[in-house]
Structure 1
Amino acid sequence: MADDLNKGLEGVLVAESELSSIDGDEGRLIYRGYAIEDLARGASYEEVVYLLWHGHLPTEEELAEFADAMAAEREVDADLLETLGQLAAADAKPMDALRTAASMLSAYEPEDDADPADLEASLRKGRRITAKIPTILAAYERFRQGEEPIDPDPDLGLAANFLYMLTGEKPDDVAAETFDQALILHADHGLNASTFTAMVIGSTMADIYSAVTGGIGALSGPLHGGANQDVMEVLFEIDESGKDPLEWVEQATEEGRRIPGFGHRVYNVKDPRAKILQERSEELAETGDPKWYVITTTIEEYLTDEKGLVEKGIAPNVDFYSGSVYYQLGIPIDMYTPIFAMSRVGGWVAHVLEYQEENRLIRPRGRYVGPEDQEFVPLEER
């Protein structure tokens, strides 16, 4: 029925897309027909972004040209870096700093006067945004630590270059591959809140900077981004308690505590992205501190085997393992959601441009439930 109320637009179809598909009952995620497992284990983030933007996996020549074009766009203007330094001095939250910087990027856009209906120009703008966000985030973190930003290295891929700009050291192969894989897993995920926000903005034919800035704003909310930070804070609590992880989770569940990283709006089984990151967490544990892997697997086994949460449709989501993976890569926990944005911008750009190909302003209705026939009283008589 046209007048049915669907809070949160749950179950409401608003668009068709060729970009990604989620089967929440089977635990399956595909990008343009490719299983996320195959892409995560066999492709790079740049390949996946190319796939989302151009509709096919690139050849070696296409990938080299695309990666070079992305690398050439990584540097940001000195004025923007100065602003980031000021935001760091003011102790701004990383997502607030990212939102401000993403909007500011439009001031330095060489094609600023391009028609918003010129989708090729918008795609080039999207490429610039995607290339510059890692530089922005790494520079902001360096400023927070009282250090100068590190210039991007054009010889490194996007994932490895970010870790290099963040830490000042080129990552080893395991770290670079792990982070690249994490970016792939977060690149797109249907019409989630931030993607839909970007699409709504794009449907007005606002520019791609506005759409991406809106996506960042939506992602900053705790009901969308941020769960992986919550997971890591729980892992810290368990570690500092001195208790055995099993003892801790038993007591926590008896007290009615909710364990972050479990449950998803779409998945009723274990998130396929969580399975992949669990593998990477185990691999990192072999060369680093194994306690984070031990704690997370202990919690999962208890909630799965003893509490039967999966049978109730509550299973580990991608955030449950991404937090500890990021931590083992040396990434501060309040940077986890900004990194989510760094990855998801590829999907935001893809969805906005796909929708604009056959654009229709997104304008849902709201049901009025307020009073009727109120009698107006002039100001002097109230």
Structure 2
Amino acid sequence: MSVVSKGLENVVIKVTSLTYIDGEKGILRYRGYDINDLVKFGSYEETIYLMLYGKLPNIKELEKLKEKLNEEYEVPQEVIDAIYLMPRDADAIGLLEVGTAALASLDKNFKWKENDKEKAISIIAKMSTLVANVFRRKEGNKPRIPESSDSYAKSFLAASLSKEPTPEEVNAMDKALILYADHEVPASTTAALVASSTLSDMYSSITAALAALKGPLHGGAAEEAFKQFLEIKEINNVENWFNEKILNQKNRLMGFGHRVYKTYDPRAKIFKNLASTLVEKNSDAKKYFEIAQKLEELGIKYFANKGIYPNTDFYSGIVFYALGFPVYMFTALFALSRTLGWLAHIIEYVEEQHRLIRPRALYVGPEYRQYVPLNQR
């Protein structure tokens, strides 16, 4: 009890066969498969199957998974109503918490170890519906349920944006979903694990994860990184802004640095490549991409010697913006993808390693003190 690890840094709370990270070499693997290979050759649906079942699916297994997703987009009307009862200016993650909490309240007969993986697939489908309708609510549009298609990313984009997405847009969304699918046990996954360790239901565990994801030091980092580009406005302002805000005022450069990676985040490289293609058809997004590139150069120049490089949130916002989403949706899009990782981890924990997570605190307060009655104080 004499050692306190602030932030639980380097404290191992579970074993996992899901995700491997080498922060020194910039390696990220899901179930042994390198993130670059999964993005280049795979799909989000294949990643779902891989994370839940431990292997890549064959054609028949993949088709069955897609059918299950298409069947599970519907949510009870009460859930949609709960989201739409909230004001349009409500926080996107807050609205998403409302939706998942509503689903938790309706999931009355939940039991662990009864079709957990099939339940997870249903939740992943319903999260698409929730995120799409959080966006539609905030934009003042009527509710819409994703329609069946051959692609989870396509169904989501069509429901959110009320238009048929291009193959290029579907590809970018699909790859973004893969990139954010899991990252071992950051704050949100830890929150989900704590909740599930009490044998709370899956939706409640997701709600706990969303609460942790909301913070600007975690899921909100992509929004904060993009706000920098908005503040800079023009590429000619980058150097002066960096000198004043980062070097002189010693503010944090958002989208740079990572608790685990001490080199360039492999996901950031892929997001940068996706952004470079998407922005060619969006002049605003292209301007912000050019600002980001210049800011990256300065960031690496001053901070690389400290092991501080761009992380996944630096360029992801530009991809989401080019797809048609405003800044306030970036964290919700993160959640759409990371739902898979949260579910895979809590299933792995409850089914294989279950023990109530109950840490201790090191007491540093006063010794015993005699209680003095109120009239004698």
User: Above 0.5 in TM-score?
Assistant: yes
Query: How big is each residue's C-alpha offset from its partner over 1:338-365, in whole Å with a ceiling of 9 and x where there is no partner?
Result: 1111111101111001011231111111
Aligned equivalent of 2:193: 199
Aligned counterparts of 2:200 and 2:241: Cα–Cα separation in 1: 50
Q: Secondary structure at the match of 1:22?
A: strand
Tell which deviates more after alignment, 135-144 or 182-191. Answer: 135-144
Partner-residue secondary structure (3-state), 1:88: coil
Counterpart-to-counterpart distance in 2, 1:298 and 1:243: 9
CA contact (8 A) 1:88 1:140 kept: no
Which amino acid counterpart does residue 20 of structure 2 have in structure 1? Answer: S
What is the CA-CA distance between 1:378 and the residue it aligns to? 3.6
Q: Which amino acid aligns with 2:272?
A: Q
Counterpart of 2:297 (choices 278, 295, 301) is 301
Distance (Å, rounded) in 2 between the aligned partners of 1:65 and 1:376:
67
Name structure 2 gaps, 5 residues minimum. Answer: none
Letter in 1 for 2:58: T
C-alpha distance after superposition, 1:279-321 (max 9, x if no partner): 011111333322222111111122224x2x1121110000000
State the distance in 1 between where 2:150 and 2:60 align.
17
Q: Give 1:1-382 correspondences, 5 Å limit.
A: 3-89=2-88, 91-109=89-107, 112-116=108-112, 119-239=113-233, 243-256=236-249, 257-289=251-283, 290-305=286-301, 307=302, 309-357=303-351, 358-382=353-377
Q: Does the CA contact (< 8 Å) of 2:110 and 2:201 recur in 1?
A: no
Q: Is the 8 A contact 2:235 2:291 kept in 1?
A: no
Structure 1 residue 34: deviation in Å?
0.5
Amino acid aligned to 1:361: L
TM-score by length of 1: 0.93
Instruction: Say whether the 8 Å CA contact 2:180–2:338 is kept in structure 1.
Output: yes
Asked if the contact 1:114–1:121 (Cα under 8 Å) also holds between the matched residues in 2, the reply is no
Q: CA deviation at 1:160?
A: 1.5
Per-residue deviation, 1:19: 0.5
- Aligned partner of residue 267 in structure 1, secondary structure: coil
1:122–1:208 Cα contact (<8 Å) kept: no
* Cα shift at 1:157: 1.6
Runs of 4+ in 1 over 6 A off after TM superposition: none
CA distance in 1, matches of 2:363, 2:258: 31
Deviates more, 1:287-296 or 1:318-327: 287-296
Deviation per CA, 1:120-160, whole angstroms, max 9, x where unpaired? 43333322221111211211222222221223110142211
Contact in 2 for aligned 1:270/1:310 (Cα 8 Å): no
Between the aligned partners of 2:335 and 2:297, the Cα distance in structure 1 is 30
Question: How far off its partner does 1:198 sit?
Answer: 0.7
- 1:71 and 1:380 map into 2 onto residues whose CA distance is 69
Per-residue CA deviations over 1:211-237 (Å, capped at 9, x if unaligned) read 111111111122211111111111112
Distance in 2 between residues matched to 1:183 and 1:323, nearest whole Å = 13
Q: CA deviation at 1:107?
A: 3.4
> In terms of mean alpha carbon deviation, does 337-346 or 144-153 score higher?
144-153
The 3-state SS of whatever aligns with 2:336 is: helix
Name the SS of the counterpart of 2:21 in structure 1.
strand
Unaligned runs of at least 5 residues, structure 1? none
Q: Partner amino acid for 1:95? A: I
Cα distance in 1, alignment partners of residues 155 and 97 from structure 2: 21
Structure 1 Cα separation of the partners of residues 369 and 53 of structure 2:
55
Structure 2 residue matching 1:377: 3-state secondary structure: coil
How far residue 87 of structure 1 moved from its aligned partner, in angstroms, is 1.1
Cα shift at 1:250:
4.2
- SS of equivalent residue, structure 1 residue 315: coil
CA contact (8 A) 2:267 2:311 kept: yes
**What are the superposed Cα offsets for residues 50-107 of structure 1, whole Å, 9 maximum, x if unpaired?**
1111100111110110111011111111121111111134x32111110111011123
**Kept after mapping to 2: 8 A contact 1:216/1:341:** yes
Per-residue deviation at 1:380? Answer: 4.9
Deviates more, 1:352-361 or 1:137-146: 137-146
Residue type at the aligned position of 2:289: Y
The answer on whether the counterparts of 2:128 and 2:146 sit within 8 Å (CA) in structure 1 is no
Does the Cα contact within 8 Å between 1:122 and 1:207 map onto a contact in 2? no
SS at match of 2:86: helix
SS in 1 for 2:93: helix
Q: Once superposed, what is the RMSD of the aligned Cα atoms?
A: 1.7
Cα distance in 1, alignment partners of residues 330 and 3 from structure 2: 38
Cα distance in 1 for partners of 2:371, 2:106 equals 50
- Which amino acid counterpart does residue 213 of structure 1 have in structure 2? T
Single out whichever of 122-131 and 48-57 deviates more from structure 2.
Answer: 122-131
Structure-1 separation of matches of 2:46 and 2:334: 18
**In 2, Cα distance between the equivalents of 1:13 and 1:275?**
28
